[in-house]
Amino acid sequence: MNPLISRFAAALLAAMLLRCSPAGSETPSGKDVVAPEAYASHDPVARGMSFQLAVVLKIRPGFHVNAREVTEDYLIPTDLRAEVPAGFKPGTVAYPKGTLQTFTFSKNKKLNVYSGNVTILLPLTALPTAPLGPQHVPMKLHYQACSTEICLPPVTKDVDATLNVVASTSAAKPANPEIFSPR
């Protein structure tokens, strides 16, 4: 089946399931289920150095999002895209492994999902030509949130990382060790 048609069908099914939810129940918006925040591994970042951005997803208890590697074709994977400004070179986004879980709607098939707090990493290099001072790396996070019983329509949220670029590598300092500590 065409992937675009599969995604459309999944979104349509999710919308229909929402309409069928019990009257009076509070179904949140998919945008309210995940709170993403961006962090840099260094502050400031020096021209010519490699560093990482982390987008930490705080997923509301009782909900999950599909992992990047989905177990069924109709599922919508979590996707992070950066609009990297001039002066920076992006690496490949690193997604964590999900966990295999079974839900009421998955009919005993295990689905690969993220729940709780999840960290997605984007490696970047500040080129020697990177502009000095505050810089923004706008990103878009696309995901579909589900509870144990229903899936919400897919959403895209804007996430912005702010960096301070300096000329001297001696001025670059590690930051956010709780996120970027060696594992």
Per residue in 29-59, pLDDT (tens digit) is 889 999 999 999 999 999 999 999 999 999 9
Residue 151 lies in a domain: yes
Pairing of strands 34-40, 50-59: antiparallel
Residue 15 lies in a domain: yes
To the nearest whole percent, how much of the chain has pLDDT over 70? 85
Edge-to-edge order in the sheet of strand 88-90: 34-40, 50-59, 117-126, 88-90
**pLDDT band (50, 70, 90) for residue 120:** very high
Overall average pLDDT of the 115-132 stretch: 97
Query: What range defines the domain where residue 154 resides?
Result: 3-19+33-169
How many angstroms separate the CA atoms of 139 and 36, rounded? 11
Q: Are 126 and 87 in contact (CB under 8 A)?
A: yes
Higher pLDDT, 183 or 126: 126
Overall average pLDDT of the 82-111 stretch: 91
Residue 138 lies in a domain: yes
pLDDT of 125-162, one tens digit each? 999 999 999 999 999 999 999 988 888 999 999 999 99
Residue 182 lies in a domain: no
To the nearest whole percent, how much of the chain has pLDDT over 90? 70
Distances in Å between the Cα of 139 and the Cα atoms of 6, 70, 147 are 25, 21, 25
Write down the pLDDT at residue 25. 53
Q: Are 58 and 35 in contact (CB under 8 A)?
A: yes
- pTM equals 0.83
How many angstroms separate the CA atoms of 45 and 27, rounded? 41
* Count: domains in the chain: 1
Higher pLDDT, 28 or 114: 114
**pLDDT band (50, 70, 90) for residue 2:** low
Overall average pLDDT of the 91-115 stretch: 90
How many angstroms separate the CA atoms of 93 and 52, rounded? 10
Residue 183 lies in a domain: no
Residue 174 lies in a domain: no
Overall average pLDDT of the 93-97 stretch: 97
Overall average pLDDT of the 6-15 stretch: 46
Residue 114 lies in a domain: yes
**pLDDT band (50, 70, 90) for residue 183:** low
Residue 176 lies in a domain: no
Write down the pLDDT at residue 141. 98
CATH number, domain with residue 145: 2.60.40.1250
Structure tokens at 137: 């790396």
CA atoms within 13 A on the CB side of 122: 26
Q: Are 63 and 115 in contact (CB under 8 A)?
A: yes
